[in-house]
Amino acid sequence: MLPVWESEQAWREATASPVTAEASKYMKELIHVSDPPVVPYYYNAILFDKSFAQVASAPLVQITSIFVSKAVDRAEFDAFIEGVLAPLLQSMSDGFVAGAHGWALLDDPHSEKMPECSMVFVTASGWESIEKKVAGHARIAERFAEVSKFSDVVQAVGRHF
């Protein structure tokens, strides 16, 4: 499930509602009895820099989470990411639909296991097909290798819708 909210305020109101609490209870029960066991990938809200609608319209969406230490200066990281993404977006390969990025509104819920990596930065990219995404990946991976100066915990999940 990938719910999309109109605003941070709408997300906060929905998550605080009794309906969401009841739905979460049932979701946990479904996950608990699933066979094979289902493990939620991540539960958070991302405040993207632009509308996620165009990214979500793509047949293939890749979501990449970068777990960043709280010791990292967020402004420095934001400037670094803009320096990486701006040239990539200007020269993106055939098949790229749209991209968005931003910070998670909550710290990593697993940060008790890795307290040094609790801020989460997320990029989302939409592609026409897996073949087009793979073809464009070399340039992206090369630039994102530089992220290791901020974090060595990067998780990418791609889903074909």
CATH number at residue 111: 3.30.70.100
Same domain, 23 and 46: no
Same domain, 114 and 72: yes
This prediction has a pTM of 0.73
SS (H, E, C) 130-160: HHHHHHHHHHHHHHHHHHHHCCCCEEEEEEE
Same domain, 59 and 115: yes
Same domain, 53 and 70: yes
Of the candidates 60, 61, 59, 77, the one whose C-alpha atom is nearest the C-alpha of residue 69 is 77
Same domain, 151 and 99: yes
| Domain range enclosing 26 | 1-40
In the sheet that holds 154-160, the strands lie side by side as 46-48, 96-104, 119-127, 60-68, 154-160
Same domain, 57 and 129: yes
Same domain, 15 and 31: yes
Q: Which residues contact 22 (CB under 8 A, 6 or more apart)?
A: none
Same domain, 9 and 87: no
**DSSP labels for 20-60?**
HHHHHHHHHHHHHH-SSPP--S----EEESS-SHHHHTSSE
Rg (CA), the chain: 17
Per residue in 56-67, pLDDT (tens digit) is 899 998 888 888
Mean pLDDT of 126-136: 83
Per residue in 79-130, pLDDT (tens digit) is 988 887 777 777 677 888 888 999 988 766 555 555 555 788 888 889 898 8
33/161 Cα distance (integer angstroms)? 25
Q: What percent of the chain has pLDDT over 70?
A: 70
Same domain, 4 and 60: no
Residue 126 DSSP code:
E
Same domain, 70 and 131: yes
Same domain, 81 and 127: yes
Same domain, 155 and 99: yes
